[in-house]
Amino acid sequence: MSEVFGIDVSHHNGAIDWKQVAKAGKKFAILKCQYEAQSHRKDECFEANYKGAGDNGMARGVYIYIARASMADPVADAESLLKHLNGRKLEYGIWLDLEDKTVDVKGKAYIRSLAYQYADIFRKAGYYVGIYCNRDWYIRLIHDDLKRDFDVWIARYPSKDTGAYNKNSSLKPSARIAVAWQYSSKGSVPGIKGDVDLNVDYDGIVSLIARTPERKSNEEVAKEVLEGKWGTAKTNPTRKKLLELAGYDYNEIQKLVNKMALQK
């Protein structure tokens, strides 16, 4: 399939005329649903944006910005987003927004664990999960495991950002590493006042519901526990909490882990 174009928006973009946005050829919209973990307040424009985009045939996703307060209680942060969503359909999934400096300093191993914590909760709720970051983060801080297990949406703008799309730009991330590119923060779209973030999805697949991973077997999860993907008794949240949130029987998984460990 060919490339398709979309936007990401929040209350900063104000009231949006979604009919005009769709008429301009935008096929997907990634929406801010809640404020950062300090308040977990719902974005003032989320309801209107969710309805407006959907009513005009656009695929909808949301992003969750992860920062200092998020790290204090990732489970509460994720569950708050799910409460706001209230089971609503997201054709374009949930994107973990990884760019904050307070997360950067924690390092690659911590970020890997944090991403899996959020993803496990969202996937259990039936949502597709991807990662949003800039190119520097992708190179320095996104673990190879995350690059393997998640689709990545990369932000990278020209120094003189005019909002124009250049399919041959040297700044364009390769389709080998990314599924989408945020190519401008200075875009102009009919129906939106002021600047707006512009994105291109490379493969044109904006209905990602069917791509939500199937539930893994106990044996697969036990192997991941041994690989360190499900935390420990000392992590926040604990391994037991993560497994239970994902719908697994902690005791059954731990029996398999112990058995596998003895076989090594």
pLDDT at 234: 83
The whole-number average pLDDT for the span 171-192 is 97
Domain positions in the chain are 4-211, 218-263
DSSP bridge pairs for 129: 94
Query: Of residues 213 and 117, which shows the higher confidence score?
Result: 117
pLDDT at 150: 96
pLDDT, tens digit, 9 for 90 and up, residues 11-20: 999 999 999 9
Average pLDDT, the chain: 93
β-strand pairing of 180-187 with 4-9: unpaired
pLDDT at 86: 93
**Residue 232 pLDDT greater than 90, yes or no:** no
The whole-number average pLDDT for the span 46-66 is 97
pLDDT at 15: 98
Whole-number Å distance between alpha carbons of 87 and 197: 27
The whole-number average pLDDT for the span 111-118 is 94
At the topology level, CATH places domain 4-211 in TIM Barrel (3.20.20)
**What token pair was written down for 209?**
């519901």
pTM of the predicted protein model: 0.84
**What token pair was written down for 171?**
């700044």
